Amino acid sequence: MMGIEWLKPAVFFGSVLYALVGVAVFWLCFVIVDKLTPYDLWGEIIEKKNMALAIVVGAMCIAIGMIVAAAVG
């Protein structure tokens, strides 16, 4: 059994800090990729219903998430 070590303030706030750092790095990477693409990702996916681009962006988000999780964790 794991116990309640994860409820200690240092462990809890450390986990929250790592989560926030991971989300910030993910967001930064996504913004960089969005700026590198020659068109507006939001407009293409939402307004023009570009399903192929939505799948590519989803795969990119999963890949960035895995890289950030491995780097932060």
Domain hosting 52: range is 21-72
**How remote is the C-alpha of 1 from its chain's centroid?**
31
Q: How many CB atoms lie within 10 A of CB 57?
A: 19
pLDDT value of residue 62: 94
Residue 7 in domain: no
Is the confidence at residue 5, as pLDDT, over 80? Answer: no
pLDDT value of residue 22: 85
Residue 60 in domain: yes
Residue 4 in domain: no
- Structure confidence by residue, pLDDT tens digits, 20-70: 988 898 899 888 988 998 888 888 999 999 999 999 989 988 998 898 888
Residue 35 in domain: yes
Domain tally, the chain: 1
pLDDT value of residue 37: 86
Helices (H), the chain: 9-36, 41-42, 51-72
**Is the pTM value of this prediction over 0.85?**
no
Residue 15 in domain: no
pLDDT value of residue 6: 64
